[in-house]
Chains A and B, each alone.
Chain A
Amino acid sequence: MQKTYYDPADLRKFGSITEWSEELGNKFFEYYGKVFEEGALSAREKSLIALAVSHVVHCPYCIDAYTKDGLQRGITKEEMMEAVHAGAAIQSGATLVHGVQMMNKYNKLSM
């Protein structure tokens, strides 16, 4: 067994998930490919969204993949970092907005 949970070389093998469930795997990749095509949003915009989400879901594979994708598309490092901040802001906002629940509960329990 490998000694670490993540191996960068595993990203190349992503496609092999189809081998153990062909139909679902193929459907997923077809869907995935379609999502990132030019549409109402440009492929460039979607790449930045994907980069932000990659950080929020803490996926090292996706971070590698969408950093490279951004470079290929000529997305600048400033744009990439702003996208990461957008993700981080939502994530920390999501944490902090629960502060209201904490306050509600505190108030309810307090005399």
Chain B
Amino acid sequence: MATKSLLARKDDLANTETQLEYLSNGIFANGELPTFKDKIAETGNFPLKPRKLEILQINLGYMCNQVCSHCHVDAGPDRKEIMTRETMQQCLEVIKKTGAHTLDLTGGAPEMNPDFRWFVEEASKAGIKDFIVRSNLTIIRANKKYYDLPEFFKKHNVHVVSSMPYYKREKTDKQRGDGVFDKSIKALQMLNDVGYGKEGSSLRLDLVYNPSGAYLPSDQEALERDFKEALKEDFNIDFHNLFAITNLPISRFLEYLIASENYEDYMYALVEAYNPAAVENVMCTNTISISWDGWLYDCDFNQMLGLKVASKVKHISEYNEDLLQNRNIIISQHCYGCTAGAGSSCQGTVA
């Protein structure tokens, strides 16, 4: 596993133009596979338009304590892009006015932003219905200063959504000692201890599962059942729901697909699993994504591809929800990741 971001490695794929070219060339340029635009046009869904805005997703920065090889953010300890308090102020103004009912903080590891706690405290006062923080779990165990995060989340009634890479303790992980798996387990137990994830508890704890390889997630309910059984039996851990999320072919996952010669097969699998019913509910139809430096995007993936919203309003400083709702959503072949099978979004399946 790489220990540096694509950016720090000066890899060609750190350039978003290169990624976008890759996604448009080859099997999509020669007509072997239909482009996403042609595919959604079959059912009259082009141009893709937003529906009601429900979710504001704010990316607090690309810094992370981990360097996962599937990361679509190209996050890592070497990424220095971090939202400033000034931009957070602008976000707070928007949060107070928005029609969205869900606020979703993500990263990188959002907790690593030095103003993270201040921002959560301020944002929680806005009384938004569902306040999500996407936590990678290991951060809670990464340093003593993070040990009290479960208590902090509880105090502000934060809905914790955590990535949990494995649900079974494979033999190799048993031998690895205090690795990602063990830290994640410990962090989940800490969250459980303060009341998160228990049946009937209003302290919501959901898990995110991404396949760790070039294959699609299978049935979300079946996976949730397996996760629940295994985590309960082996570690006495409780959680509410499992979101099965498809890896999109961008950033480090794209790097992996190309390097392992899985790219074409993976794109075939995505196109083959295309589900027109999922198109209606792809994440960008109810979400606005805001980057660490205040730019607006259709989703976190478009943010990582540098595709700013196609609207007169492009920055949080000039935010105007009505204008934004009129935009056309920018698409490319990575979008097939959102429409495969039961569909995929930050809230799991969509169809």
Instruction: Give residues in A with beta carbon < 8 Å to B.
Output: 8, 12, 43-44, 68, 71-74, 76-78
Contact = CB atoms under 8 A, between A and B. Distances in A.
Contact of A72 (B170, B171, B216): B216
B268 A71 contact: no
Given A72-B215, A73-B218, A74-B226, A12 B268 contact: yes
Nearest to A42: B222
A68 B222 contact: no
A64 to B, nearest CB: 9
Contacts of B222: 43-44, 73
Contacts of A77: 170
Nearest to B230: A74
A84 B168 CA distance: 21
A73 B216 CA distance: 9
Given A12-B268, A72-B218, A73-B218, A78 B213 contact: no
> Residue among A12, A73, A74 with the most chain B CB within 10 A?
A74
A73 B217 CA distance: 7
B213 A71 contact: yes
Contact of A71 (B167, B168, B170, B215): B215
Nearest to A8: B265
A76 B215 contact: no
Contacts of A44: 222
Interface of B: 167-168, 170-171, 211, 213, 215-218, 222-223, 226, 265, 268, 272
A74 B215 contact: no
A76 B170 contact: yes
B36 to A, nearest CB: 19
A95 to B, nearest CB: 31
Nearest to A12: B268
A15 to B, nearest CB: 9
A78 B168 CA distance: 12
Nearest to B172: A77
A43 B171 CA distance: 25
Contact of B215 (A8, A12, A43, A68): A68
26 contacts: A8-B265, A12-B268, A12-B272, A43-B222, A44-B222, A68-B215, A71-B211, A71-B213, A71-B215, A72-B211, A72-B215, A72-B216, A72-B217, A72-B218, A73-B218, A73-B222, A74-B167, A74-B168, A74-B218, A74-B223, A74-B226, A76-B168, A76-B170, A77-B170, A78-B170, A78-B171
A73 B225 CA distance: 11
> Residue among B168, B170, B211, B218 with the most chain A CB within 10 A?
B218
B209 to A, nearest CB: 9
A74 B167 CA distance: 9
Given A12-B272, A74-B218, 7 more contacts: A68-B215, A71-B213, A72-B211, A72-B216, A74-B167, A76-B170, A78-B171
Nearest to B264: A9
B46 to A, nearest CB: 26
A59 to B, nearest CB: 18
Contacts of A71: 211, 213, 215
Nearest to B214: A68
A38 B184 CA distance: 32
A68 B211 CA distance: 11
A43 B226 CA distance: 13
Contacts of B265: 8
Contacts of B213: 71
Contacts of B268: 12
A68 to B, nearest CB: 5
